[in-house]
A = this chain, B = another copy of it.
Amino acid sequence: MDEQLALNWLSQRMPVGDDCYTLDWSGTNLLLTTDMLHRDSDFPAGASNYTIGWRSVAVSLSDIAAMGGDPEALVIAYGNSDFERDKLEDFISGAEAVCEKFGARIVGGDLDNHEELTVVTTALGKTTEPVTRQGAEPGELVAVTGDLGRTGAALRLFEVGETDRANELFRFEPRVETGMKLAPLASSMMDISDGLARSLHQLAEVNDLGFRIMADKIPYHPAVDEFSDTQEQKEELGIFTGEDFELLFTSPEENEFELARTGATVIGKVTEGGVEIVRGRDISSLKDEGYVH
């Protein structure tokens, strides 16, 4: 089985469909999520230990954000071939920086001798009204937070050796505050971990409906232009490259004005079926392609 098949199979045994697990807990809901990252597939050469710490924590905070939750505490399991003080200090500083910015706290962890740098962060959050992936209705708006292609551009910057800018871009901000503002507005929500295209397909499948996306409404990160001469190249970075960790959500049309106030961008509509993209006069299927962790 590949990862996706294994996940589908697991989802029949346990509640793994959403970005976090929700646990009803004396008047509120606890949210719990875990993410495994490692050198080989998640941290390009040139990524600093500070960035690795930041990003490791940020992916779990993003899962809490995707449920409209408020992060509280994190534990980190850190495996590496050495525990050199400077490296560990930079890693922890990056991890703490993103925690402090979003009101969470690192409360514990585990260290392990491990050939390959491997980090697993687990975040605990809470919310009174969790937003799951299920709940979208045809006719609703579909929207994203922030802009897309930031991680794609960062990866290109790492490739060409512009390490400082690459690291800066690679330290994305999990949409914790926006997620909480969106909680009462969104009918379904998830974070974009495998690219917009794949996330739209996932959301369509869970809700048994479709999307029609307007290509010219998709908000691209300014850095995307540096690495794309054509619309196709732009979409490669912004739609088919994963790990931007913006939020993708649906919301009833009457919320349009309130959505705009959160900084989110409406990119299309929920339809009865099929994931389509409108480029000028052309309407075509949006490929279910993207980054596989």
Contact B108 A16 (CB under 8 A): yes
Contact B36 A83 (CB under 8 A): no
A3 at interface, CB cutoff 8 A: yes
A100 at interface, CB cutoff 8 A: no
**A111-119, A174-182, A222-230, A242-250 - interface stretch:** A111-119
A11-34 residues at the B interface, CB under 8 angstroms: 13-16, 20-21, 23, 25-28, 30, 32-34
Number of residues on chain A facing chain B (CB within 8 A): 58
Known: A112-B293, A124-B124. A79 touches B38 (CB 8 A): yes
Contact B21 A73 (CB under 8 A): yes
The docked-state distance in angstroms from the alpha carbon of A104 to that of B7 is 21
Contact A1 B75 (CB under 8 A): no
A160 at interface, CB cutoff 8 A: no
Contact A36 B107 (CB under 8 A): no
A122 at interface, CB cutoff 8 A: yes
A41 at interface, CB cutoff 8 A: yes
Q: Contacting A83 at CB < 8 Å: which of B1, B83, B84, B96?
A: B1
* Chain B residues in 8 Å Cβ range of A32: 73, 75, 107-108, 122, 124
A2 at interface, CB cutoff 8 A: yes
Q: Contacting A75 at CB < 8 Å: which of B25, B28, B33?
A: B33
Known: A36-B114, A41-B113. A107 touches B75 (CB 8 A): no
Contact B23 A110 (CB under 8 A): no
- Mark contacts of A58-102 with chain B using CB atoms, 8 A cut-off: 1 yes-contact digit, 0 otherwise: 000000000000001101111100011100100010001000000
* Chain B residues in 8 Å Cβ range of A115: 40, 115-116
The docked-state distance in angstroms from the alpha carbon of A27 to that of B35 is 29
The docked-state distance in angstroms from the alpha carbon of A23 to that of B25 is 14
A residues whose Cβ falls under 8 Å from a Cβ of B: 1-3, 5-7, 9-10, 13-16, 20-21, 23, 25-28, 30, 32-38, 40-41, 72-73, 75-79, 83-85, 88, 92, 96, 106-116, 118, 120, 122, 124, 293
- Excluding A23-B124, A113-B293, 12 further A-B contacts by CB distance (< 8 Å) are A2-B83, A10-B111, A14-B106, A14-B109, A21-B73, A26-B28, A30-B124, A35-B110, A36-B118, A36-B120, A38-B114, A77-B120
